[in-house]
Amino acid sequence: MAKEKAKLCVYCGNKATTRDHIPPKCLFPDPLPSDLITVPACHKCNAGESKDDEYFRARIVAKNECGSHKAAQQVAVKLFRSFERVQNAGFTRDFIDSIKDFDLCTPSGIYLGKATGYDVDHDRMLRVVRRIMIGLHFKEFGRGIPKNFEATVQGRSNVDPTELSVLKEVDDWVKKIVSKRKPKRIGDGVFAYTYVSPDDRPDVTAWAMEFYESEVYLGFCIPRNARPRAPQPY
């Protein structure tokens, strides 16, 4: 059965003709680690997401929280070199145009002044992380998510900083997941992930994914129209 599943794209269920790297290999510096994860994918799903992968890389390595990580710095050098290529002119222009001054405020709303930053399409970022989670599900279970289930993801960076209760819920979920199962790490801190699932509902899973030891995302594989209950405080 696992061999039959491996012939199908984990994202759309059509015939798989390629292997997709999970997470995208552009997030890793050279030389690439030997333990990269690949999953079966059709050409459309694999090649069609390459622009999103590049967008995700550009935005995440530019974050202050990730910038001090050695691997992120090495990837950033590769990124900035790619800006010089003629074929990347549009991507480079979009990145530069996104840089602007923003109002800097504390979570309680106190104005601190101006800071230079860049616009982020959070839906696009989450789309990449969702694809990663679906690939990880196949890696761990040998099958895609059930047809009547949905994969949802949430990150701290796409939550309004004034929504303290939402941020706390994300943090509580991540702590709960990590406490149950030791994270698996790939590429010297570039990526780590772990998951938990109830003994009586193995298809229901909660995932914690971390990039460059700082940027954390939370994901769920749950029945459609269901919402995970917030974890009990410790």
Whole-structure pTM value = 0.84
CA distance 91 to 154: 25
Q: Bridge partners of 37? A: 22
Q: What is the mean pLDDT of the chain?
A: 84
CA distance 204 to 221: 6
**Domain locations along the chain:** 141-223
Query: Residue 142: which region, alpha, beta or left (left: phi > 0; alpha: psi -120 to 50)?
Result: left
pLDDT bucket at 116, cuts 50 / 70 / 90? low
Task: Average the pLDDT over 6-30 and give the result.
Answer: 93
What's the chain's Rg over C-alpha atoms? 18
Cβ atoms within 10 Å of 127's Cβ, excluding its own: 16
Q: Strands 99-105, 37-41: parallel, antiparallel or unpaired by DSSP?
A: unpaired
* pLDDT tens digit sequence for 120-178: 788 999 999 999 999 999 999 999 988 899 999 998 877 776 677 777 888 888 888 99
Q: Strands 149-155, 215-223: parallel, antiparallel or unpaired by DSSP?
A: antiparallel
Q: What pLDDT score was predicted for residue 33? A: 93
